[in-house]
Structure 1
Amino acid sequence: MDQRGRPDDVEPGETAPAPRKRTGGRSARVRAAVLTATLEQLIEYGIEGLTIGDVAARAGVAETTIYRRWGTRTALIAEAVTELAAVGNPVPDTGSLRADLQVLAEQISQLITRPGIARLLGTAIALSADPEVEAARRQFWNDRFDQSSQVVVRAIERGELADRTDPREVLETLSAPLYFRLLVGEKPIDDAFITRCIDSVLTLHGRA
């Protein structure tokens, strides 16, 4: 390095090559490890048993890394569960409301019947008086409804739904029976049940 801060192999008048920018690969790996560890902790120990320290140890990162990136346990839980719901579940765009609802219902069914998810949902409801848990639950649902509302917006544009249709009401009509059957009912979520849920949506919200 010369007195002007140029590398020794750079001749006068030449410009030193710009330093390589970090691609963010390590950051992405850290995020994936932390979110995976969070989900594993949630499924094994529930929300009430999750601590930042345990997640950090499981992910092989420092607690400060988690606090610096997510700030609070609430934000960490919300992002982990949202990531679980989003991975492999893109918002459908088949060109038909019924077909889009079919895909959404199947995605919901596959998600909530995964091992440990029923326990996680039950714990979230039981601990709803906890402001931190309630905040995570609300953030998760708001994120999911915001993403899936595109299905309803496109159906309105195609004329399948009335202009003033509330996307959230449509999505609630579809998803509520699925969650009720998982948490309260004793019957499986089969194809016939999904079809009935879709028929209910179209009867209540579809145009005659």
Structure 2
Amino acid sequence: MPEAGDGPRRAGARRRGAVLEDAILRAAAEVLAESGVAGLTMDEVARRAGTNKNAIYRRWPDRVALGVAAYRRLAGAETTVPDTGSLRDDALELLRRANSTWSSPYGEILRGLIAAAGGTPGLLAELSGPETGGGAYEAAWTAVLGRAVSRGEATHRALHPRVASAPVALLRNEYLARGVPAVPDAVLVEIVDEVFLPLVHGRSAGRGTG
């Protein structure tokens, strides 16, 4: 990984394709970790990656798109799915993981990127999950619901993407709308007990739509 003071890349074979892209993403992730979203500039990333801004713009249209890609690399994704034998306990575990991420330094970067992305649907979709916003975490919620169906805690009607996304959407709102540094565990329990489980059971009983 290039050090902050390395400047232009040392002479050698010209990097192309995935090799150059990897260097750019590593440099951008480094800047995000050190300076946050405000410090992420194409000039600084180009300097650290030992390339030029045109090489970056050919791959990402602006610094926010680059930041989203770099964040996904920086934070990684939790792909293990809890299996406690209880839908409630599985949901609480997933929500607590999300809360842990959002209240960490990575969470501050994530919130900054969401704000910077504004109304860009594609970028917001990449940041939709609590870890990296990727589909892997959404799949974990769907898997938890699927196991609940197999155990007889819910019916297939509950396997709906909006049902799966509801807890994280409510958690995200706590951070973005209220500006809290961390959401108390009691609120997580309330989200699961007062919103998520009634939604699952309501659809299972045939009161949902779709």
Q: Shorter-chain TM-score category? A: 0.5 to 0.7
Q: 1:150 to 1:116 in 2, by over 3 A?
A: closer
The letter for the 2-side match of 1:156 is V
Letter in 2 for 1:205: V
Residue number in structure 2 paired with 1:192: 186
The 5 Å alignment of 1:52-71 reads 52-58=42-48, 60-63=49-52, 67=56, 71=59
Structure 1 residues without counterparts, runs of 5 or longer? 1-26
1:62 aligns to what SS in structure 2?
coil
- For 1:165, give the aligned amino acid: A
Instruction: Determine the C-alpha separation between the residues in 2 that align with 1:140 and 1:197.
Output: 21
Equivalent residue for 2:99, pick from 91, 106, 109: 109
Q: What are the superposed Cα offsets for residues 162-204 of structure 1, whole Å, 9 maximum, x if unpaired?
A: 2122442233321122112212226541221111111131122
**In the alignment, which residue of structure 2 is the partner of 1:17?**
none
How far apart are residue 90 of structure 1 and its match?
2.7
Match of residue 127 from structure 2? 140
User: Which letter maps to 1:194?
Assistant: L
Query: Which one-letter code corresponds to 1:137 in the other structure?
Result: L
Shift of 1:156: 2.3
The SS at the match of 2:178 is coil
How many aligned positions are there?
A: 174
Give the match's secondary structure for 1:152. helix
User: Could you tell me how far 1:80 is from its partner in structure 2?
Assistant: 2.7
Secondary structure at 1:164's aligned position in 2?
helix
1:57-92 alpha-carbon deviations (Å, 9 max, x no partner): 33x44359x759x922566433333344534x2332
Unaligned residue ranges in structure 2 (runs of 5+): 1-17, 129-133, 206-210
The 2-side partners of 1:86 and 1:140 are apart by 12
Going from structure 1 to structure 2, the CA distance change for 1:165 and 1:50 (only over 3 Å counts) comes to same
* CA distance in 2 between partners of 1:120 and 1:67 (Å): 21
Whether the 8 Å CA contact 2:149–2:156 is kept in 1: the answer is: yes
* Partner Cα distance (1:108, 1:91) in 2: 13
Distance (Å, rounded) in 1 between the aligned partners of 2:154 and 2:86 = 11
In structure 2, give the amino acid aligned to 1:125. Answer: A
Q: CA deviation at 1:108?
A: 0.8
**Is 2:148 aligned against 1:155?**
yes
Shift of 1:112: 1.0
Q: TM-score, normalised to structure 2's length?
A: 0.62
The letter of the residue matching 1:55 is V
Q: Is the 8 A contact 2:32 2:109 kept in 1?
A: no
Tell me which structure has the larger Cα radius of gyration.
1
| Aligned CA distance change for structure 1 residues 179 and 38 (closer, same or farther; 3 Å) | same
Instruction: Supply the AA of the counterpart residue of 1:93.
Output: P
Q: What letter is aligned with 1:203?
A: P
Residue in 2 aligned with 1:46?
A: 37
Q: Does the residue aligned with 1:155 lie in a helix, a strand or coil?
A: helix
CA deviations 1:18-68 (Å, max 9, x no partner) are xxxxxxxxx89x84x654532343463527x6344422433x44359x759
Distance (Å, rounded) in 2 between the aligned partners of 1:121 and 1:76? 15
